[in-house]
Amino acid sequence: MRYVSIDIETTGLNPETCQIFEFAAIVDDTKKSNTVPRQSFQCFVVPEDGIIRGEAQGLMMNGQILERIAVRRSEDRFTFPRYLTQKFRQFLLESGFDNEKITVAGKNFAGFDLPFLRLCPGWSETIRIHSRTIDPGSLYFDPLRDTVVPDTKECANRAGLTYNGNHEALGDAAQIIQILRAKWGLL
């Protein structure tokens, strides 16, 4: 099965008042070896008016991204919010996804990432996503000892992996793939 691991970094928790800082996606194919290189897409999202809006905690956690946005605006990996959808769509086309719905994997993707992404111009009309997503928390949930679904760090621990914990979208998307492949016996 082919799926896309997606992660975003944001300036806070509320999609109505906060912004996407960084977007990353990696295509994985469970029929291929874990050592086969994967197609990936990453960009830093820069507000067109140059004004960063968010919450103190979100800004603090993503200080390195703020620095990249402030210092390196000319890099190719920077985009305005209005171009994010079309750049991601182009990546999907180049990765062999035509007009089909994609299966997305990500920790809290449906509840956190997707509400932010739906606010990107053209997202809902352009990017077709299956309503069922793959969340590793559900796969690593233990009803005999857990009172909540485990977070990414605990999923990595239960998978026998080292947690990267760096709040960097591309690394986090890659970590989700490794956590899933560990559960499926595909490492």
Q: Residue 64: its pLDDT value, please?
A: 87
* Structural domains of the chain sorted by starting position, each given as residue range(s) with its CATH number in brackets: 2-134 (3.30.420.10)
| Each residue's pLDDT tens digit, 19-48 | 999 999 999 999 999 999 999 999 999 999
Tokens 């992996």 belong to residue: 161
Give which of 147, 149, 120 is closest to 6, Cα–Cα: 120
DSSP string, 20-76: EEEEEEEEEETTS-TTS---EEEEEE--TT------HHHHHHTHHHHHHHHH-TTST
* Averaged pLDDT score across all residues of the chain: 94
Q: Say if residues 76 and 118 touch (Cβ distance below 8 Å).
A: no
CA-to-CA separations, 107 to 15, 88, 174, in angstroms, rounded:
17, 19, 12
pTM for this entry: 0.95
| Each residue's pLDDT tens digit, 94-106 | 999 988 899 999 9
171 has a pLDDT exceeding 80: yes
